[in-house]
Amino acid sequence: MATFKNIFNPRAPKDGGFFLAIKELLGFNPKDIGIYQEAFTHRSTNTTSTQGHAQNYERMEFLGDAMLSAIIAAHLYNKVPGGDEGYLTKMRSKVVSREHLNELGRDLELTKHVKTTVPIGQFGVNIHGNVFEALVGAIYLDRGYKYCEKFINKRVIEPYVDIEKLEGKVISYKSLFIEWCQKNKHQFKFSVYEDTGNDTLKHFGVKLTLDSKLVGKARATSKKKAEEQAAKRAYYKLQEAIDGFSKKS
């Protein structure tokens, strides 16, 4: 196993390519570049510390998730003084949704800095959001809360957090559809049907019925994705009724 003692040196020259890339990404100087190197290291490298602890972005991802959630919560609390707990929770969920975090990671092209023994193309889409969270965690460890807040304001809040747009943003069409059905006493069912496609990668076909009537049908590489897509198509068929419910809830 590789160790940080050999490959991650906080005292590395400040004109190194990685240091300059991180500095540009952050908008300020990192103090300990080794922290950021860990934040961009995938577990496939089997990198360990001199104490034998695994060193990759997963622990920082946990920390970054907490910091991001806290800073976004504070922003919404101050920005929307009339928002109750349920409203603020829903709005925060829209900002820190996995889909949105993946979008942030892609926009910042974070995966091009990841150290891994596995081709990036073989990872799922969530690697973008995972590395973004790890970066937030690294900033907190390196420079503290204020710099973490500064980065999130610049990279998340200013370009992406528009209260009016967020209010109309749907996180999960499946969750919205199910909630609408339950509140209005409709019967619904997601059912897998035989997929006869010729794709090399296995696909799942899903039909969605509402009160025994077909309202959505989709196929995707997982049952979960197919259900979400079917629910999205059902949503657009029933948009007026569901939107009316969503605005009231």
Reported as a single tens digit per residue, the pLDDT across 29-64 is: 999 999 999 999 998 999 888 888 889 999 999 999
Q: Provide the token pair at 24.
A: 């540009």
Answer yes or no: is pLDDT of 243 > 50.
yes
How many other CB atoms are there within 10 angstroms of residue 230's CB atom? 27
Percentage above 70 pLDDT, the chain: 87
**Predicted confidence band at 10 (pLDDT cuts at 50, 70, 90)?**
very low
Q: Provide the token pair at 57.
A: 């972005």
- b/e string for 31-45 if b means 16 or more Cβ within 10 A? eebbbbbbbbbbeeb
> Per-residue pLDDT tens for 108-164?
999 999 999 988 888 888 999 999 999 999 999 999 999 999 999 999 999 888 887
Domain spans in the chain, listed from the N-terminal domain onward? 4-167, 173-248
| pLDDT value for 247 | 53
- Which residues partner with 217 through β-bridges? 207
Percentage above 90 pLDDT, the chain: 50
Domain 4-167 grouped into CATH 1.10.1520.10: yes
Give the integer Cα–Cα distance in Å for 141 and 135. 10
Please give the average per-residue pLDDT across 5-12, as a whole number: 39
| pLDDT value for 11 | 37
> Per-residue pLDDT tens for 178-200?
888 998 899 999 999 876 666 66
Q: Provide the token pair at 210.
A: 């509402």
Answer yes or no: is pLDDT of 2 > 50.
no
Q: What's the mean per-residue pLDDT of the chain?
A: 85
- Would you identify the CATH topology of the domain 173-248? Double Stranded RNA Binding Domain (3.30.160)
Q: Give me the active site residues, please.
A: 65, 133
Please give the average per-residue pLDDT across 92-118, as a whole number: 91
Burial class (CB in 10 A: 0-12, 13-18, 19+), 50: exposed
Answer yes or no: is pLDDT of 244 > 70.
no
| pLDDT value for 180 | 87
**Predicted confidence band at 236 (pLDDT cuts at 50, 70, 90)?**
confident
DSSP of the chain, one letter per residue? --BHHHH--TTS-TTSHHHHHHHHHHTS--S-HHHHHHHTB-GGG--B-TTS-B-SHHHHHHHHHHHHHHHHHHHHHHH-TT--HHHHHHHHHHHS-HHHHHHHHHHTTGGGG-B-SS-GGGS-THHHHHHHHHHHHHHHHHH-HHHHHHHHIIIIIHHH--HHHHHT--S-HHHHHHHHHHHTT--EEEEEE------SS--EEEEEEETTEEEEEEEESSHHHHHHHHHHHHHHHSHHHHHHHHHH-
